Amino acid sequence: MHGNIPAAGWWLPGEKPPETGNDALKRALFEVNQPIVLVPKAGRPAVAAGGRVILSGVAPDDAAAVPILAYVPPLHPGRLGDPDFRRENGLDYAYVAGAMANGITSVEMVEAVGRAGMLSFFGAAGLSIEAVEQAVDRLQERMRGVPFGVNLIHSPSEPDHEAATVDLFLRKGVKLISASAYLGLTLPLLHYRVKGIRRNEKGAVVCSNRLVAKVSRVEVAEKFLSPPPEKMLAKLVAQGKITPEEAHLARLVPVADSLTAEADSGGHTDNRPALALLPTLMAVRDRLMEAHGYGRPIHVGLGGGIATPESAAAAFAMGAAYVLTGSVNQACLEAGTSDRVREMLAEARQADVAMAPAADMFEMGVKVQVLKRGTMFAQRAAKLYDLYTRYDRYDAAPPDQRAILEKDFFRSGFDEAWEATRAFFEHRDPRQNLRAERDARHKMALVFRSYLGRSSGWATAGDPTRVIDYQIWCGPAMGAFNEWTRGTFLERPANRRTVTVALNLLMGASVITRVSWLRNQGVPVPHALSRYAPLPLSDLTAILG
């Protein structure tokens, strides 16, 4: 045995003798529906098959009994994560494909992920109300009985658009949303959460509308983990948005059902380290659940950096209720983007990312994480923000700087760029144009925001004349994914499908977790066996049943 460590149990042999060697151990690791039983054979660990296992420190009264060196239970990927999260959302796997704006998390991706027993949120941010409504209609028609959600992004520069999006969700009966990029709570967000709240036949408070919040700051997490503020509830009642009874019941529930700890992700991110962020937010969750005495658990998952089996296994080992992926899905065939973007993402390394000013929160100085390899968007966006902070109007900028913008950025004169911007906001939010007529700096900001906003559209459309301006939201996880898949069938963008990627991440996490369990029992597993290489979907289906 291993020093003074007692036997893990006893094995009564069957017809097949134990097998030694790496091949036998690898087969056992991949048979995730079966336990692994290791026994000594000629001084080496051997995989026992068949027979009978007795998990007891007391030796049985049978001379044939062999001491067990290590015992690892089955770990189907569907067992990873919080079973209550899976049950509450009707899932087979604790896996979420996160929302990527402008429909990059497309209807096709949401449907594929949902039908595989996982959860996905349509990327509604940045789209018109009409486009979001069309997507919701398609999903509700296709996904009858299959769980899915839609994204709601904080829009401090366009509050009317945020409110209109919530009105659409309520009118269409969208029952699950992902709230992202929120710096604080808003009335439209609370309107969605509280509308329809009631007591069920057992007297328990039930929210008709469920909410998953993506956060990276403790102060924001505390708001989502607390009941809605009294003043905001009173304002919603005064506006006729909710009833006094709904406001009363809202005091008994948190704003969010689940919380995604958003670590170093693509798009909106605070670049927080996952190893520090997840346990911090779980501790905040525990503190506020105790303080408010909620009757139901609040689940905390992890997103940002989930791109390899190792990162998924680490997340679950730390207690994540679920894992959420983003950047890696954008490189998949179902993503609502161009083949050129998929190719650029497939070439990315871990350091090929940068922070750049965000279109939706430009004036606030908020940044998003983007791909820098093959594009100059990050530098150009930074230049626009620098000019915005230096000058109170476009004409005040140096002539040579304006010439560069009009030649390389706008590819038109400023007046022409403004007319296109004005036409956009006349439909989207006319109040922005009214303000721009009075405020020359705001007019400049809108034109700059127009460039930033269109840059992601050029990328998703694959505009060959604008490659240098592509805005591609991307985190360092993309580089890790590419390194993991190097030399495998998933190296080629044409083979990357969202469900194949998801199941490989989960299967790999199960295998790696079982390797860890063996090592924790003193078994020296070769490093080669702790590296999981992606498998085709057909092979995974055969293994997982």
**pLDDT tens, position by position, 323-370:** 999 999 999 999 999 999 999 999 999 999 999 999 888 999 999 999
H helix runs in 350-474, sequence order? 377-390, 399-404, 414-428, 430-438, 440-461
3-state secondary structure of 533: coil
- Whether 1 shows a pLDDT value over 70: the answer reads no
Stated pTM of the model: 0.94
User: In Å, what is the CA distance from 423 to each residue of 102, 136, 414, 426?
Assistant: 19, 26, 14, 5
Residue 195, both tokens: 């509308």
Helix or strand holding residue 237 (H, E): helix 230-238
Q: How far apart are CA 91 and CA 176, in angstroms?
A: 14
Amino acid identity, residue 184?
A: G
Judge residue 464's burial from the number of C-beta atoms within 10 Å of its C-beta, 0-12 exposed, 13-18 middle, 19 or more buried.
exposed
pLDDT at 153: 94
- 235 with 201: CB under 8 angstroms? no
Buried b (16+ CB within 10 A) or exposed e, 498-518: bbbbbbbbbbbbbbbbbbbbb
Q: What is the mean pLDDT of residues 515-541?
A: 94
Q: How far apart are CA 197 and CA 205, in angstroms?
A: 7
Residue 501, both tokens: 């990627």
pLDDT tens profile 40-58 = 998 899 999 988 999 988 8
β-bridge partners, 261:
215, 302
- 368 with 356: CB under 8 angstroms? yes
CA angle, 26 then 29 then 35, to 5° = 135
Residue 148 is given by DSSP the state: -
Other beta carbons within 10 angstroms of residue 483's beta carbon come to 12
Residue 468, both tokens: 């240098």
CA dihedral 135, 139, 142, 145 (to 10 degrees): -170
Q: How far apart are CA 368 and CA 359, in angstroms?
A: 9
Q: What is the mean pLDDT of residues 267-286?
A: 93
pLDDT at 146: 96
Rg for the chain, CA atoms, rounded: 26
pLDDT tens profile 184-227 = 999 999 999 999 999 999 999 999 999 999 999 999 999 999 99
Judge residue 315's burial from the number of C-beta atoms within 10 Å of its C-beta, 0-12 exposed, 13-18 middle, 19 or more buried.
buried
pLDDT at 36: 96
pLDDT tens profile 436-447 = 999 999 999 999
Amino acid identity, residue 15?
A: E
pLDDT at 545: 82
